[in-house]
Structure 1
Amino acid sequence: MREEIRGITRSTGLPHLFITINPADYHNPIPQFLAGRDIDLDKFYHKLDTKSEAFTHIQTVAQNPIASAEAFKKLIDGFIDIIAGFKRPDKIGVFGEVDSYYGVVEAQDHGSLHCHFFFWLKGGLSPQTVKEQALADPEWKRKLFKWLDDIVCQDFPADTTANRPDFTDPDRKLPAMSRPPDPNDYAFEETWQQDLRNLLEITGQVHTHSSTCFKHLPEYIKGLRNEDKDCCFNLPREFVKETYLDDDGHIHLKCSNGYINGYNDICVTCLCCNMDIKYMGSGTAAMAMVQYVTNYIAKLSLDSSTVFTALCGAIKAVCEYPPIDPITEQIDNNEQSHLLLLKTCNSMIGKRELSGQQVASFLLNIPNRFTNHKFDKMWW
């Protein structure tokens, strides 16, 4: 995968957008329906026991990983084909016209699938060209900033109020499981904005500090930490009143709420899930960012404890039964090193955990990456 992404970059240039789609399979009606439940979007969290219904959601997905995998595939296909516009007649989507895309599927700790995407836009410019064009043409720069502010939001919708759903209140609904506002309704614009805010609050789009934020801090200073300065996610972000271009050619996007992860309002409304979106077409560090993100999204899901456990087991096995050279009747050091490496690799592969959704995806022949490119393998 890593080389495929780099292959597109070599032929097309740097990607322009990095987007993560993180579907909420536990609280999404599609997996529930595919699992065989007879659901009513108008009754969820309205006339049902909210506590028992939430447990039923989780139980249904846990017992039906195939339904969860199928729902994930449908959601990602809809995102690519409709929202990104790749299969629309005019090829124009929310972000513009997409020339290339590459998405890598990954599983979270509890098994749910999510996808990291690179998007290359048709007619997209390199970071250096963006800087030169923006400095030379103020009107072009204004249009660029307007486009960026339109596709990346870092604030709550205007004229909305905090309205986090209360699961103990039977008259409140969970936004991700409820019917979305009707576009034909005369009050759609108002209700949509409030519904969007509800989604942002319930899908984890708003960051809240937790122990994970400070896992890299030494134990002896964790009690003295400054939560806003020591968060490993660098949140909250700095306040940016208006989008601007700095001297290094890096574009700083408008940010009125530093705790909100970058999102696209259309994506969140349609997908009803957590997401992240970053513009990668500016700044001297754009190439370094591509390198880092490429390595990140193509990594293997093996933690350090699994690796060390496998290594210890291999060392123990090789020491207990060392290979003996039949001629010298001494321990064959070369063969022992070979066996150590082989046993370690086999043990790590055997200990690698796969979620039910990952196994179901394999059985359903759902790809572990989504792209519009075909790659030929060259054996040399």
Structure 2
Amino acid sequence: MKHIKVVGGHVMGSAHSRSALRTKIHSLCFNLGLPSLFVTINPVDIHSPVALYFAGVDPDLDRVPPEVLRTSYERAQIIATHPVATAKVFNCSIKSILKCLVLGGVLGPTKAYFGTVESQGRGSLHLHLLIWLKHEYTPAQLKENIQNQDFRDILLKYLEDVVKEDLDLLREETDSITNEVVSVCLSTPNPASDDFHRIFCKDVVRLVETSNIHKHSTTCYKYSKGKSDTSKTCRMRMPRVLVKTSNIDLTTGQITMRRSHPWINNFNEWLIIAYRSNMDTKFIWSGNDAKALVYYITDYVTNSTLEFHDIFALAQQGITNSIDNAIEKSRKLVLRCYNMIASQQEVSGVQVASYLMNYDDHYTTHTFRNLFLISIENYLQVELTKARLQEKDVDEERLDDMTTPFDEEQEEDTKQTEEQFLSEPTQTKNGARFVMVNTRLDYQHRSQDLTALCLYDFASHFHTKLIDKSDRHLIKNANGSEGERLDTEGTKMNERYIFETAHSQSSSHIVIKHTNPVVPVLVGPQIPRQQREETRERYSRALLTLFVPRISVHDLCALNQI
């Protein structure tokens, strides 16, 4: 199954490829801290005039008369037969909302977001979004600062501004509302209109009353099967308790927002008016909330439609069909097993259209880069062991026998944790040839001007680049010393550095700084908790490897240090 997972990881839309999103979210949390807001965006495509337009209907998008919209059943028929139009509308609207509203600051100054796309039971798409705001407070610091009255008042004022739980403030600006057309089908109010604020408030009230008021369904009680009707509870926790004024409990840190309606889902007026459908939003107050939401998103996005026993049965069928050639064609065998499993998974037409049109199954502000931490740890551990044995004058033959990787007792485990290399071309005095390179070698033989940089920062801020004509001009004007920084002053070039000559690509590649830092994704076993006695050594080794600048293993610890 491990080999099938590896193959599936390269198949677009597979559960295995989407499981990598979990690692990326964890890496973003590791890089930026815990997220601040959780938002669910759930467009209703059957009520979207834009979706109808992409599906071939030609409505006036500024003024939509009822006769053009047709009935809900007719709209559903049109949308169901045009999955490409639905996928296109979703992708365009989500990108616009993220760029113009989320990064535009309607929820506050934003430094990052990560959203995963999911398909609902009816086949349409929705987005679960984690948002990182531009502040440096940890959950513990926030709870400490709420003891201050001024900070508490500012926090509540912010939350009441971005997360609404009733319509009191908006309803004051509206008059009577008529329902000539389904509210979600109407166009978004024009900000340039003279009476925009009143029209805006009226539109928000209409959208919330038609789309964001909870109604119980079977989904509410899917975790209450077998219970009596009186003991069943709605998993959405509806209806909710009414609260006159927002407050924060200084003892527990619990935030309770003002609420005058028991059935309204949390919403933000700017977001709901943009995509004109139901939504939910939540302020992530504690570390436990953040962990729960990350787990919910990643577990939901990787949920398989097949039961575990079905997966094994299908894999067995794939093996049975080619058992005669299993040894000679092992690669095809694994691929056949995966195809047998994937062929039985349910995928909606909109999802298929989205994948075929090369639309993303997630949206994020950041770029990610894999960092094989465990293999670098193993390498450093072996080097440390060698150095200790050499200090004791152990001969070379015994040295090779005694420097087996520290936690690899079985061959299968060794394969999973051994160092990974890429074969890349380089230019030498004897002509072009291929050499083995990886991030560990790039870091180990980096420029002398980057010696104060730890491995994590190096992977985040720098990457290798093939030397081009402009780079050769800079190298020619350099002093010629080994591993120096190239002079890019007066140019628009990013920082550039020469490798040490010991690097196999020192004559063909240089180190260049990213315009925007990337997020290292730690591939391999997770870093364990510090509190556990049995894994404390691994925890310490991982942190030393990542965050202590080094030239050699001697920079990490003394040879006699345990």
Alignment partner, residue 210 of structure 1: 217
| CA–CA separation in structure 1 for the residues paired with 2:190 and 2:294 | 42
What per-residue deviation string (whole Å, max 9, x for no partner) do you get for residues 208-240 of structure 1?
112222233343x43x4256xx11222122222
Q: Does 1:299 align with 2:302?
A: yes
Alignment partner, residue 245 of structure 1: 248
Letter of the aligned partner of 1:295 in structure 2?
A: T
Q: Does 1:180 align with 2:188?
A: yes
Q: Helix, strand or coil for the counterpart of 1:18?
A: strand
Q: Deviation of residue 287 (structure 1)?
A: 4.2
Q: Does 1:8 align with 2:17?
A: no
Q: Helix, strand or coil for the counterpart of 2:146?
A: helix
Q: Which consecutive residues of structure 2, in runs of 5 or more, have no partner in the other structure? A: 1-20, 325-333, 373-419, 421-562
Alignment partner, residue 205 of structure 2: 197
| CA–CA separation in structure 2 for the residues paired with 1:363 and 1:345 | 20
| CA–CA separation in structure 1 for the residues paired with 2:88 and 2:317 | 43
Could you tell me whether the CA contact under 8 Å between 2:35 and 2:290 is conserved in 1?
Answer: no
| CA–CA separation in structure 2 for the residues paired with 1:3 and 1:162 | 50
Q: Helix, strand or coil for the counterpart of 1:96?
A: coil
What per-residue deviation string (whole Å, max 9, x for no partner) do you get for residues 12-38 of structure 1?
100001111111111101111112211
Alignment partner, residue 258 of structure 1: 262
Q: Which consecutive residues of structure 1, in runs of 5 or more, have no partner in the other structure? A: 87-91, 166-171, 325-340
Could you tell me whether the CA contact under 8 Å between 1:164 and 1:201 is conserved in 2?
Answer: no
Alignment partner, residue 121 of structure 2: 109
Q: Deviation of residue 80 (structure 1)?
A: 0.8
| CA–CA separation in structure 1 for the residues paired with 2:85 and 2:270 | 25
Give 1:1-380 correspondences, 5 Å limit.
1-41=21-61, 44=64, 46=66, 48=67, 52-84=70-102, 86=103, 92-135=104-147, 137-156=148-167, 157-159=170-172, 165=179, 172-203=180-211, 205-219=212-226, 221-222=227-228, 224-225=229-230, 230-246=233-249, 247-280=251-284, 282-283=285-286, 285-300=288-303, 302-303=304-305, 307-311=308-312, 346-378=339-371, 380=420
Q: Deviation of residue 314 (structure 1)?
A: 5.9
Letter of the aligned partner of 1:374 in structure 2?
A: T
Q: Deviation of residue 79 (structure 1)?
A: 0.9
Larger displacement relative to structure 2 (27-36 or 251-260): 251-260
Task: Please report the RMSD computed on the Cα atoms of aligned residues, expressed in angstroms.
Answer: 3.3
Q: Deviation of residue 63 (structure 1)?
A: 1.5
Alignment partner, residue 336 of structure 1: none
Q: Helix, strand or coil for the counterpart of 1:37?
A: coil
Q: Helix, strand or coil for the counterpart of 2:38?
A: strand
| CA–CA separation in structure 2 for the residues paired with 1:241 and 1:283 | 24
Q: Deviation of residue 355 (structure 1)?
A: 1.3
| CA–CA separation in structure 1 for the residues paired with 2:343 and 2:162 | 43
Could you tell me whether the CA contact under 8 Å between 2:117 and 2:125 is conserved in 1?
Answer: yes
Could you tell me whether the CA contact under 8 Å between 1:311 and 1:344 is conserved in 2?
Answer: no
| CA–CA separation in structure 2 for the residues paired with 1:311 and 1:120 | 40
Alignment partner, residue 334 of structure 1: none
Could you tell me whether the CA contact under 8 Å between 1:5 and 1:294 is conserved in 2?
Answer: no
Q: Helix, strand or coil for the counterpart of 2:359?
A: coil
| CA–CA separation in structure 2 for the residues paired with 1:115 and 1:177 | 20
What per-residue deviation string (whole Å, max 9, x for no partner) do you get for residues 86-143 of structure 1?
3xxxxx41011110111111111111111111111112521111111121x3112211
Letter of the aligned partner of 1:368 in structure 2?
A: D
Letter of the aligned partner of 1:32 in structure 2?
A: L
Identify if the C-alpha distance between structure 1 residues 83 and 147 changes in structure 2 by more than 3 Å, giving closer, same or farther: same
Q: Deviation of residue 41 (structure 1)?
A: 4.7
Q: Which has the higher contact order (CA 8 A, sep 6+)?
A: 1
| CA–CA separation in structure 2 for the residues paired with 1:55 and 1:130 | 49
Structure with higher Rg: it is: 2
The alignment-based identity, stated in percent, is 29
Q: Helix, strand or coil for the counterpart of 2:239?
A: coil
What per-residue deviation string (whole Å, max 9, x for no partner) do you get for residues 178-207 of structure 1?
23344455544333323212212332x111
Q: Deviation of residue 243 (structure 1)?
A: 2.1
TM-score w.r.t. structure 2 length?
0.55
Q: Helix, strand or coil for the counterpart of 1:36?
A: coil
What per-residue deviation string (whole Å, max 9, x for no partner) do you get for residues 285-305 of structure 1?
3343244334334323x2366
Letter of the aligned partner of 2:95 in structure 1?
A: D
Q: Deviation of residue 146 (structure 1)?
A: 0.5
Letter of the aligned partner of 2:358 in structure 1?
A: N
Could you tell me whether the CA contact under 8 Å between 1:163 and 1:198 is conserved in 2?
Answer: yes
Q: Helix, strand or coil for the counterpart of 1:199?
A: helix
| CA–CA separation in structure 2 for the residues paired with 1:279 and 1:297 | 20
Could you tell me whether the CA contact under 8 Å between 2:244 and 2:259 is conserved in 1?
Answer: yes
TM-score w.r.t. structure 1 length?
0.80
| CA–CA separation in structure 1 for the residues paired with 2:162 and 2:266 | 9
Identify if the C-alpha distance between structure 1 residues 41 and 310 changes in structure 2 by more than 3 Å, giving closer, same or farther: same
Letter of the aligned partner of 1:158 in structure 2?
A: R
